[in-house]
Amino acid sequence: MSWTWRFEEAGGTELANPPSPAHPNQSDAESWLGEHWRDLAESGVAQTTLFEDDRKVYGPMSLSEQ
């Protein structure tokens, strides 16, 4: 199993960059996002969705500070 984030523009269009690293479990994926969300937001990511392989777990979730 692989846990990854799909990074999106505000309208939901998937961004090709930056790519999400693969994580071995949900906890690691969520911890990684917690450490990197500000950098992702500054690079143009507006929202993100978590996937376990091809299964959507939750999202989209805004990266806005508001």
Q: What's the CA gap between 22 and 7, in Å, rounded?
A: 13
**The pLDDT of residue 65:** 80
Average pLDDT, the chain: 95
What are the Cα distances from residue 58, in Å, to 14, 55, 62? 15, 9, 12
Say what the pTM is.
Answer: 0.93
pLDDT reading at 66 higher than 80: no
Chain segment 7-30, per-residue pLDDT in tens: 999 999 999 998 999 999 999 999
Q: What's the CA gap between 25 and 65, in Å, rounded?
A: 26
